[in-house]
Amino acid sequence: MNKTELIEKIASEANGSKSEAQRYFDAFQDVITSALKKDEDVQITGFGKFYVQKRAAREGVNPQTQKKMKIPASKVPKFTAGNALKDSIK
Protein backbone atom coordinates (compact mmCIF):
# COMPACT_ATOMS: atom_id res chain seq x y z
CA MET A 1 0.00 0.00 0.00
CA ASN A 2 1.38 3.40 -0.93
CA LYS A 3 0.57 6.81 0.58
CA THR A 4 -2.29 7.56 -1.82
CA GLU A 5 -3.93 4.19 -1.16
CA LEU A 6 -3.48 4.67 2.59
CA ILE A 7 -5.17 8.09 2.50
CA GLU A 8 -8.05 6.68 0.44
CA LYS A 9 -8.45 3.85 2.97
CA ILE A 10 -8.40 6.29 5.90
CA ALA A 11 -11.04 8.44 4.21
CA SER A 12 -13.27 5.44 3.59
CA GLU A 13 -12.85 4.02 7.13
CA ALA A 14 -13.59 7.41 8.72
CA ASN A 15 -16.43 8.24 6.31
CA GLY A 16 -14.68 11.47 5.38
CA SER A 17 -13.27 13.11 2.30
CA LYS A 18 -9.88 12.34 0.82
CA SER A 19 -8.76 15.94 1.32
CA GLU A 20 -9.67 15.77 5.00
CA ALA A 21 -7.81 12.46 5.40
CA GLN A 22 -4.81 13.98 3.58
CA ARG A 23 -4.80 16.95 5.99
CA TYR A 24 -4.92 14.68 9.05
CA PHE A 25 -2.27 12.35 7.69
CA ASP A 26 0.05 15.29 6.91
CA ALA A 27 -0.51 16.66 10.42
CA PHE A 28 0.28 13.24 11.93
CA GLN A 29 3.45 13.02 9.85
CA ASP A 30 4.52 16.55 10.85
CA VAL A 31 3.96 15.88 14.56
CA ILE A 32 5.98 12.64 14.47
CA THR A 33 8.78 14.27 12.45
CA SER A 34 9.08 17.32 14.71
CA ALA A 35 9.10 15.15 17.84
CA LEU A 36 11.86 12.93 16.43
CA LYS A 37 13.89 16.00 15.45
CA LYS A 38 13.79 17.00 19.14
CA ASP A 39 14.92 13.46 20.13
CA GLU A 40 11.50 12.81 21.69
CA ASP A 41 9.85 9.39 21.54
CA VAL A 42 6.26 9.07 20.34
CA GLN A 43 4.47 6.16 22.01
CA ILE A 44 1.01 5.15 20.82
CA THR A 45 -0.26 2.54 23.28
CA GLY A 46 -1.12 -0.69 21.52
CA PHE A 47 0.21 0.51 18.16
CA GLY A 48 3.91 1.16 18.68
CA LYS A 49 6.71 3.56 19.39
CA PHE A 50 8.59 5.94 17.09
CA TYR A 51 12.07 6.88 18.32
CA VAL A 52 15.54 7.99 17.20
CA GLN A 53 18.44 5.57 17.37
CA LYS A 54 21.98 6.90 17.42
CA ARG A 55 24.60 5.07 15.40
CA ALA A 56 28.22 5.47 16.45
CA ALA A 57 30.94 6.35 13.98
CA ARG A 58 32.55 3.25 12.56
CA GLU A 59 34.95 2.02 9.94
CA GLY A 60 33.64 0.39 6.79
CA VAL A 61 34.92 -0.92 3.47
CA ASN A 62 34.03 0.50 0.06
CA PRO A 63 32.89 -2.59 -1.86
CA GLN A 64 34.09 -1.23 -5.21
CA THR A 65 37.62 -0.24 -4.21
CA GLN A 66 38.04 -2.39 -1.06
CA LYS A 67 39.49 0.71 0.66
CA LYS A 68 38.69 1.36 4.28
CA MET A 69 36.56 4.41 4.98
CA LYS A 70 35.16 6.16 8.02
CA ILE A 71 31.39 6.19 8.37
CA PRO A 72 30.30 9.17 10.50
CA ALA A 73 27.94 8.94 13.45
CA SER A 74 24.28 9.39 12.54
CA LYS A 75 20.74 9.32 13.86
CA VAL A 76 18.05 7.14 12.26
CA PRO A 77 14.30 6.97 12.88
CA LYS A 78 12.99 3.63 14.16
CA PHE A 79 9.60 2.10 14.85
CA THR A 80 8.81 -0.74 17.24
CA ALA A 81 5.40 -2.35 16.98
CA GLY A 82 3.27 -2.57 20.12
CA ASN A 83 1.80 -5.82 21.43
CA ALA A 84 -1.71 -5.14 20.15
CA LEU A 85 -0.37 -4.57 16.62
CA LYS A 86 1.81 -7.68 16.82
CA ASP A 87 -1.06 -9.80 18.11
CA SER A 88 -3.44 -8.55 15.40
CA ILE A 89 -1.35 -9.99 12.57
CA LYS A 90 -0.75 -13.47 13.98
* AA identity, residue 71: I
Q: What average pLDDT is seen over the chain?
A: 95
Give the pLDDT confidence score for residue 90 in this predicted structure. Answer: 81
Q: Positive or negative, the Cα torsion across 59, 68, 76, 74?
A: positive
Domains of the chain: 1-39 (no CATH), 41-90 (4.10.520.10)
Judge whether 25 and 5 are in contact, CB under 8 Å.
no
Report the SS3 class of residue 41.
coil
pLDDT in tens, 24-59: 999 999 999 999 999 999 999 999 999 999 999 999
State the Cα–Cα distance between residues 84 and 22, nearest whole angstrom: 25
Considering the entire predicted model, what is its pTM?
0.79
**Predicted confidence (pLDDT) at residue 7 exceeds the cutoff of 90:** yes
